[in-house]
Amino acid sequence: MRLSALLAPTLREVPSEAEVVSHRLMLRAGLMRKAAGGIYTYLPLGYRVLKKIMAIVREEMDAAGSQELMLPIIQPAELWHQTGRWAEYGDEMFRLKDRHGRSFCLGPTHEEIITDLVRSEVRSYRQLPLILYQIQNKYRDEIRPRFGVIRGREFIMKDAYSFDRDRAGLDVSYQKMFEAYQRIFRRVGLETRAVLADPGAIGGDDTHEFMVLADTGEAEVVYCTKCQYAANVEKAAARVLSPEEPGDGKSVAVPPLQEISTPGVRSIAELEAFLGLPATQMIKTLIYKADDRVVAVLVRGDREVNELKLARALGASSVEPADAATVEKATGAPVGFAGPVGLDGLMIVADLEVPFIQDGVTGANKADTHLRHVVYGRDYRAGLVADVRFVVAGDLCPECGGTLASARGIEVGQVFKLGTKYSAALGATYLDETGQERLIEMGCYGIGISRTMAAIIEQHHDERGIRWPISVAPYHVDLIVINPADSAQLQAAESLYDNLWEAGVEVVLDDRDERAGVKFNDADLIGFPFRVVVGPRTLGEGKVEVKARVQDEARILPFDEAVRYLQEQIAPHVGRGGALVESRSCHPGI
Ligand code: ATP
Ligand code: MG
């Protein structure tokens, strides 16, 4: 392909709407254009990258024994009613009606439709296990589409679903997918971390997210600096220090409860300043609505409530902070003065750390009043003591006691043990050897293909542009002719071009009538792994200049050596389906 003919409109200006580097570079390098909020057109170079990622995903999914199929994007509402998700999905689902008034959605995910398929096609244990996957557009009317294709409303996903006879079979399928994901992300050049995640309403403990650590990530990941423990902050736990353990104080004799006047002092910060005591000594009391119940939630003054954990601890489907009127009704005091002492008739949930607060301070359930010398067990008790707070950097690892650190991450994939949630809702069963009917155990496994492309850029760029890993680069080599009007230069370049394609190297020929500087800048911006220059300085000696995008120095090589060198560099990164074949001719019209 000649760059003069390629639709690859690079931009010198930084588009103002783009907040993160991958979004800016995808627009500037001419990889994509916006069609509507969160909806993009992929231009030829961008689409080549996507096809390379998809080829790697296909190779690894096939190698892991899963089978590719294609499910419909438009899905009937009835199936979603059967699992209850037609209502649950809310505004994130794109809904439409056909000419007869029947309801459909644009698939945000495909558990319903694939379980429907399997319930009609699978009858016997002999047909299991089964792992099916597809690569297809997904539709989610995200409340805040942003960061380009990182959070789109139309995006490409690889989604796989496993079907097994029992839990042990599911464990095997899950492990297979987990390992395939590790290979996929390694091959596309991404450094990822598999972190424990919150399974949400589905329950169970087995789900991992594959995170690309990047400052612009929307997720927070907590990881141990000593062992392998890593979890999404929504899920992360920490070891609790009990008074018996070193680092915390010994039990001390605490004076009796004392009421103190604290006019207008509502927040923990104000209380710290007013009393000159640390937040770690305060029992922060928050009133929540959990489904239909009102509950009091206690955490240490310097902690924040993790509402996902709270919902799980209570078995509630939704929790939210109570409004002021509810707080006043429940505590008898205005907001800011709630405390657990004497809070009769209200369910009290205490975080694991709270009982260890030796000599606490908390609200007195009375305007402008707090209590001092509050002791768990003596002055109050909780109906439930559970982990309901957010873990923070510096906390102790729940597994090894090492120190936890935190980082931001982009979720590029997730593996999930669904169990029988969908097979039960839709009646997907099989007959075992004894003829007994059993529910199929399911897992689901997603990779955001388009998000992965952006995440690769987040990890591979510099101030000049993208630095594509060879395995996913739109082309491996940008072959620049300094002066295409000079027929010797052009002819030498065209013959090198042919030889490179012959050697399995994907190459574009920059024959544009532009200054050399413009061509070099575009080569760096688009991020081809190698740049080869045919120009007057080296052509006389029958040589070309070859430079890797990630290196500063160029090497001057004879034409045939350049081909050999590039072939050697590139071959190890091209998988069986990794190289994209196209019309190799650089001659227009052919
Ligand atoms: P998120 O928490 O980021 O919204 P999710 O957990 O809802 O994602 P899944 O249902 O697990 O997403 O989808 C599988 C994969 O699809 C994700 O790991 C992510 O890579 C990708 N993905 C999800 N939502 C989007 C989106 N709006 N735009 C691009 N990719 C997405
Ligand atoms: Mg997810």
| 66's tokens | 């899963």
Give the per-residue pLDDT at 11: 95
C-beta neighbour count of 67 within 10 angstroms: 12
Query: What span, in angstroms and rounded, lies between the C-alpha atoms of 494 and 565?
Result: 18
Query: What span, in angstroms and rounded, lies between the C-alpha atoms of 369 and 430?
Result: 64
What is the helix (H) or strand (E) element at residue 265, kind and residue range? none
- Residue 52 class from Cβ within 10 Å (0-12 exposed, 13-18 middle, 19+ buried)? buried
E strands present in 176-306? 192-196, 207-213, 219-224, 230-232, 258-261, 283-290, 293-300
Where residue 201 falls (left for φ over 0; alpha for ψ -120 to 50; beta otherwise) is alpha
Query: What span, in angstroms and rounded, lies between the C-alpha atoms of 362 and 443?
Result: 46
The ligand 1 site (C-beta within 6 Å) comprises 109, 140, 142, 151-152, 155, 157, 411-414, 446, 448, 450-451
Give the per-residue pLDDT at 253: 83
Q: How far is the centre of ligand 2, averaged over its atoms, from the C-alpha of 447 (Å)?
A: 9
Measured from the alpha carbon of residue 155, the closest ligand is: 1
Give the per-residue pLDDT at 243: 58
Q: How far is the centre of ligand 2, averaged over its atoms, from the C-alpha of 197 (Å)?
A: 9
Per-residue model confidence as pLDDT tens digits over 237-266: 999 876 555 444 455 689 999 999 999 998
Per-residue model confidence as pLDDT tens digits over 473-492: 999 999 999 999 999 999 99
Using CA positions, which residue lies closest to atom 22 of ligand 1?
Answer: 448
Give the per-residue pLDDT at 15: 82
Using CA positions, which residue lies closest to atom 29 of ligand 1?
Answer: 151
Query: What span, in angstroms and rounded, lies between the C-alpha atoms of 545 and 520?
Result: 12
**Ligand 1 closest atom vs CA 209:** 18
Measured from the alpha carbon of residue 153, the closest ligand is: 1
Measured from the alpha carbon of residue 446, the closest ligand is: 1
Ligand 1: residue of 414, 445, 449, 450 to mutate (most ligand atoms within 8 A of CB) is 414
Query: What span, in angstroms and rounded, lies between the C-alpha atoms of 479 and 534?
Result: 7
Give the per-residue pLDDT at 199: 81
Query: What span, in angstroms and rounded, lies between the C-alpha atoms of 28 and 527?
Result: 11
**Ligand 1 closest atom vs CA 151:** 28
Per-residue model confidence as pLDDT tens digits over 15-33: 888 989 999 999 999 999 9
Written as tens digits, the pLDDT of the chain (590 aa) is 999 999 999 999 888 889 899 999 999 999 999 999 999 999 999 999 999 999 999 999 999 999 999 999 999 999 999 999 999 899 999 999 999 999 999 999 999 999 999 999 999 999 999 999 999 999 999 999 999 999 999 999 999 999 999 999 999 999 999 999 999 999 999 999 999 998 876 656 689 999 999 988 999 999 999 999 999 999 999 998 765 554 444 556 899 999 999 999 989 999 999 999 999 999 999 999 999 999 999 999 999 999 999 999 999 988 999 999 999 999 999 999 999 999 988 999 999 999 999 999 999 999 999 999 999 999 999 999 999 999 999 999 999 999 999 999 999 999 999 999 999 999 999 999 999 999 999 999 999 999 999 999 999 999 999 999 999 999 999 999 999 999 999 999 999 999 999 999 999 999 999 999 999 999 999 999 999 999 999 999 999 999 999 999 999 999 999 999 999 999 999 876 545 555 555 554 43
**pTM of the predicted structure, to 2 decimals:** 0.90
Q: Map residue 413 onto helix, strand or coil.
A: strand
**Cα–Cα separations (whole angstroms), residue 65 to 131, 156, 160, 173, 401:** 7, 22, 11, 10, 39
Q: Which of 511, 523, 508, 517 is nearest to 4 (CA)?
A: 511
Q: How far is the centre of ligand 1, averaged over its atoms, from the C-alpha of 138 (Å)?
A: 10
Question: Is residue 281 a contact partner of residue 287, using CB atoms and an 8 Å limit?
Answer: no
